[in-house]
Structure 1
């Protein structure tokens, strides 16, 4: 009986060794060592990163265009202010009393002191 018991023990050990050899691996390893969930997260992160970068660049381009428009408008305003100041100086020069009196004489008008009324500003 001793030999029979040894044979059974050896057969059991061989079955266990065969089971260990034949057991399939529980996790399939891919070449990057990433699971499908990790791949999805990686792709989602890359997409979010690209979207964010594109959004920042487009905002910077819009800001640049607006700043350029502001500079152009500022330049136009300054040139118009200069024209307005020049025109104001011309109005002051053309509205002097001496010039008005000369134009009145040239048109044949005479100064009658009896028809002059003094108007005071209040």
Structure 2
């Protein structure tokens, strides 16, 4: 019986080895379907498109702000010129200057023709 027990023991040992071999041989891979690949590609394309769109919009906003600042600077310069011209008009329209210019041109003051206006 010892030989029968030995054979049984050897068979059990071989079965265990075969089971271990079968267990290590089986490797499962996660498969991605074609639909999932298409969806991932579409998502990547949309993300890329939106990124480019955002960058181009920011560039357009930057250019517009730059133009606005240039226009504001030119408006400030023109306002200064206008203020200087107003001061010059006020200086040139004083009564003394007008009277002096009238005398140079030969006009004389006639009190009968002058009326006071308030």
Q: How many residues align?
A: 90
Residue of structure 2 in register with 1:41 after alignment: 39
Post-superposition Cα deviations, 1:70-94, rounded to whole Å, max 9, x if no partner, equal 1000000000000000000000000
Q: How far is the alpha carbon of 1:33 from its aligned partner?
A: 3.6
- Counterparts of 1:16-55 in structure 2, within 5 Å, are 33-55=31-53
TM-score (norm 1): 0.70
Residue of structure 2 in register with 1:93 after alignment: 91
1:108 is aligned, of 100, 103, 106, to: 106
Residue of structure 2 in register with 1:74 after alignment: 72
Larger fraction in helix: 2
Flag as ranges the 4+ runs of structure 1 deviating above 2 A: none
Residue of structure 2 in register with 1:5 after alignment: none
Q: How far is the alpha carbon of 1:119 from its aligned partner?
A: 2.1
Q: How far is the alpha carbon of 1:117 from its aligned partner?
A: 1.4
RMSD: 1.3
